[in-house]
Structure 1
Amino acid sequence: MGWLRRVGALAAAISVGAATPDLAAQDAGPAPLRLTLSEAVRRALEANPSVRAAALDGAAAEVARALTRATLLPSVGLRAGRDVTRLNAETMFGTALATPTIGPFSTMAAVGVVSVPIVDVAAVRAHAITRQQAVAARAGERVVREANVLAAAGAYLDLLEALATREAARERLRLAQALRDLASDLQRRGSGTGLDALRADVQWHAERQALIEADADARVATLRLANVLNLPQGRPIECSDAEIFFAPVTLAPSPATSLRPELLVAWTNVDIARLGVRRALDLRLPRVSVTGTAGAAALQSNPWLGTYQVVASVQMPLFTGGELRAREALARIGRERAEVIAEEVQNAVSLEEAAAAARLAAAEARAPLADDAARLAAAEVEQARDRFAAGVAGNVEVIAAQTALARAQANRIAAYASVRRARLWLAHARGRAELEYVSASVADRR
């Protein structure tokens, strides 16, 4: 039963970079980086280039929205200049003149220009499209962040599983060493056989190989987590909340509406496509604008005189060679395609959430059974060892019990790993991975 307490606790702050007691000592390296699950996920979000790129895409979409909004607002400008002009009068009047040229003369002007769009439905629709594109870009950023949370949390949980496996292998090696010592002692006293001692030695070597393999798996898991966190390879990592691996899971209430950013992106693209159809139709409508200028002008050194001009214009396409009809057809095709994709994403998300919930329920039902099996296997090892020490049975029973214990430990670790992964996938399926694994505390995540 001692192994169960040690494996269940997993001794917080297990160093992944440290070698096992039975392996060769390693050279001192950089100080280990202590991370909780939420800290690892937060660090991954800060360090991942794809997250930064998605944030820049969102910022660019906001700028594009501001640009289209600018086309709907009045524009004010100032124009000033001085011209020096000399004209050929004969070419202007088509005959020879006594004075063939006019000028040179100088004119100066300073004019303020105001342009106001009055009616431009297509531009209004274009602004609505860029506004929805900004929403989609921000949702796309959340898609990238959720994917990185899934990758970072998954790598961290893989490391916790590897640590639990290594700790169980250490405990089994300790039991094998105790059996080996007991068999040797009984042989020396004449109450044991050489075959028992040989069997115990074989078992010890098998458990030591299992520990070496488990230690290698833990190191590989560390390298994978370091890669996800964009850390230098070889940087040791300490899991400072390793105790959560065997902790019970408490789920947050399921939201009334899905928070999956993929759904928001898909249905926002549908809105964009529908707006695109309307904009294609709006291109047939007239556009009305008013432009006014007011200022002063002067000829050479003469006094400045006030000037103004107001121009109202109406633009409307009459014949475009089928361009507008083609634009409408393309827009409708894009709308239908976006609707099909949105429905597909909706079905996939619903299936993913239902499957994750089913896996979590199965894993939670499996975990208590694995606990019971592990306790029974530990008790079997103790009883078999007592019988061997008393001389009423050979160590075949002990070795068989230890083999059953190894299988029970592996099943228990796999059961709890399934619980943690299913809980992560369910949070991801609900669009709450970042919310639950970054914002929530360790106690909340349990």
Structure 2
Amino acid sequence: MGNFSIKMTFLPVAVVCLGLSGTVQAQKTDELPQAPTPNVVVTKLAGDVLVERATPGALPLSLDDAIERGLKKNLQILLSQQNERYVHGQVLTVKNSLLPSMTAQAQSSAQQINLAALGFKGTQLADLGFTGPFNPIVRVDTTSAQMKLNQQLFNVPAYYLYRAAQKADTVASLSTLNQRGSVTLAVGTQYLLALADASQIENERALVKANEVALQQAKASHEAGVGTHLDELRARVQLQTEQQSLINAENTFAKDKIALNRLIGLPAEQELTLTDTAPFAEFAEMPLEQAKALAFERRKDLLSLQAQMDVADRTLKAVRAERYPSLAFDGYYGVLGETQGLYHGVFSAMGKLSFPIFQEAQLRGESQVARAQVTGLRQQIDSLKVTIEQQIRASMLDVQASNELVKVAKSNVDLATEQLQQATDRFAAGVDDNLPVVQAQATLAAAQSRLVNTLYQYNQSKLQLARNTGVVETQYKVYLGR
């Protein structure tokens, strides 16, 4: 059957599509001015492959620049785009099965035939009254030109498979959009983490300077005879502790910038200057039902499953239609004659009607497979909707909790700063030794570190909520309050 070969052509498309998933698009808000971008140095390898190399000096990079680069250079995005091209090629292959197939053919041949070897004898011709000379070796030169046409006139399975292939193209596009959302979340999270590292370094440097001053005061008090050597030792230990914390913070910052380079397609050795600061803005709470409705409309993984459902449903219709007869036309028109002689037109026209007679086991088996795919996808869609609600609820709780944590952390920093100031004044006045000062410095360091971490958690939870509602790619600025 002609429709069987068409179906086998579509199978790679169906296999590719049934494994794809998706994410989101939405309106843009006001953008910050773009940082100047230096000229990018590239090198060409064999096969016309361009490899980006590190630029001299530090590259200014904002959050918008990082996300834009990630959407252009991230490997997962590039692979998804190639998958789109692959599936689209498969769709064109399926479409071609429904279109007329026309080919032109021309040939010329020269033959030398031994009639005697084929059983023709001169004596046999004489018995028939032929008295002329007989040459058993004959030369035949012919030339022909033909135009062939093949067309499916009625093939219901091929039509439904083409419709399924069209929807498979949509699934591939949704998969790319889903990857764009994932990359936006990953790049945004990594950039915010690097900003938190930079804030942590600033805090540690400020504490190191404060501890250096405290050490100088302890030494001066000891030399003046109003302090003890123990005070000096405490101050030195505290200073070295903060220096160790500074070294660790700088190392973490360097590694996180390397990870950011990897996400946005920059060389690992490329130096970066983060031009943005960690944002903090109160997020207006969204009603749960509104968030769910937005997610059901924008989540590309859900839309992808629904498109796969359409693919499976149309495939099932194609399988059911395999019992229908199919009608096809095949023919040609051309000329044929001796190469140096007279040519004459030749043609052939043939209509073909075919239908299955005894293929019941195969048809039932294909039908069961298609129905199982439809049922499985329907169950996945129902399950994903429940999962989306769970993710949105969890994200909302994270946003609320981290917001409260930021407020508490800010209050703790203010209180720790005031405590340190009072302890420092008492030590400078000689009322107390520097033990309360060292303790207050440690308390302030811990409070500042918690503030940095909670601010990062708050921003990351808002990005995750944008991802769960399906709008992270274009509305991350709104959720971050930038």
After TM superposition, the score normalised by the length of structure 1 is 0.83
Partner of 1:360: 399
Asked if 1:45 corresponds to 2:84, the answer is no
Of residues 210, 214, 234, the one that matches 1:179 is 214
Displacement after TM superposition at 1:105 (Å):
4.5
Partner of 2:270: 235
SS at match of 2:323: coil
Partner of 1:137: 172
Displacement after TM superposition at 1:302 (Å):
5.5
Of residues 341, 344, 354, the one that matches 1:315 is 354
CA distance in 2, matches of 1:312, 1:112: 17
SS at match of 1:98: helix
CA contact (8 A) 2:180 2:473 kept: yes
Partner of 2:281: 248
Amino acid at match of 2:246: L
SS at match of 2:125: coil
Asked if 1:126 corresponds to 2:161, the answer is yes
Asked if 1:164 corresponds to 2:199, the answer is yes
Partner of 1:197: 232
**Paired residues, what number?**
412
Amino acid at match of 1:311: M
SS at match of 2:418: helix
Displacement after TM superposition at 1:321 (Å):
6.0
Amino acid at match of 1:77: T
**For structure 1, which segment, 339-348 or 131-140, has the greater mean C-alpha deviation from structure 2 after superposition?**
339-348
Displacement after TM superposition at 1:107 (Å):
4.4
Asked if 1:344 corresponds to 2:377, the answer is no
Displacement after TM superposition at 1:204 (Å):
1.7
Deviations 1:5-51 (A, max 9, x none): xxxxxxxx9xxxxxxxxxxxxxxx94112211121222233333332
5+ residue gaps in structure 1?
1-12, 14-28
CA distance in 1, matches of 2:114, 2:322: 44
CA contact (8 A) 2:296 2:385 kept: no
- Cα RMSD (Å): 3.0
CA distance in 1, matches of 2:150, 2:481: 58
Displacement after TM superposition at 1:251 (Å):
6.7
Displacement after TM superposition at 1:216 (Å):
1.9
CA contact (8 A) 2:299 2:470 kept: yes
CA distance in 1, matches of 2:229, 2:177: 65
Partner of 1:21: none
Partner of 1:211: 246
Asked if 1:76 corresponds to 2:102, the answer is yes
Q: Go from structure 1 to structure 2 and tell me whether the alpha carbon gap of 1:386 and 1:288 turns closer, same or farther (over 3 Å shift).
A: same
Displacement after TM superposition at 1:89 (Å):
10
Of residues 82, 95, 98, the one that matches 2:125 is 98
Q: Go from structure 1 to structure 2 and tell me whether the alpha carbon gap of 1:155 and 1:269 turns closer, same or farther (over 3 Å shift).
A: same
Within-5 A mapping of 1:253-264: 254=291, 255=294, 257-264=296-303
CA contact (8 A) 1:50 1:144 kept: yes
CA contact (8 A) 1:436 1:445 kept: no
5+ residue gaps in structure 2?
1-34, 36-54, 127-133
Of residues 398, 403, 419, the one that matches 1:380 is 419
Partner of 1:327: 366
Displacement after TM superposition at 1:103 (Å):
6.1
Displacement after TM superposition at 1:91 (Å):
7.3
Displacement after TM superposition at 1:299 (Å):
5.2
SS at match of 1:319: coil
CA contact (8 A) 1:89 1:97 kept: no
CA distance in 1, matches of 2:339, 2:95: 42
CA distance in 1, matches of 2:475, 2:224: 60
CA contact (8 A) 1:295 1:308 kept: yes
Amino acid at match of 2:188: A
Within-5 A mapping of 1:392-403: 392-403=431-442
Amino acid at match of 1:394: D
Within-5 A mapping of 1:58-73: 58-73=84-99
Asked if 1:115 corresponds to 2:115, the answer is no
Displacement after TM superposition at 1:408 (Å):
1.3
Amino acid at match of 2:280: A
**For structure 1, which segment, 131-140 or 82-91, has the greater mean C-alpha deviation from structure 2 after superposition?**
82-91
After TM superposition, the score normalised by the length of structure 2 is 0.77
SS at match of 1:247: coil
CA contact (8 A) 2:281 2:481 kept: no
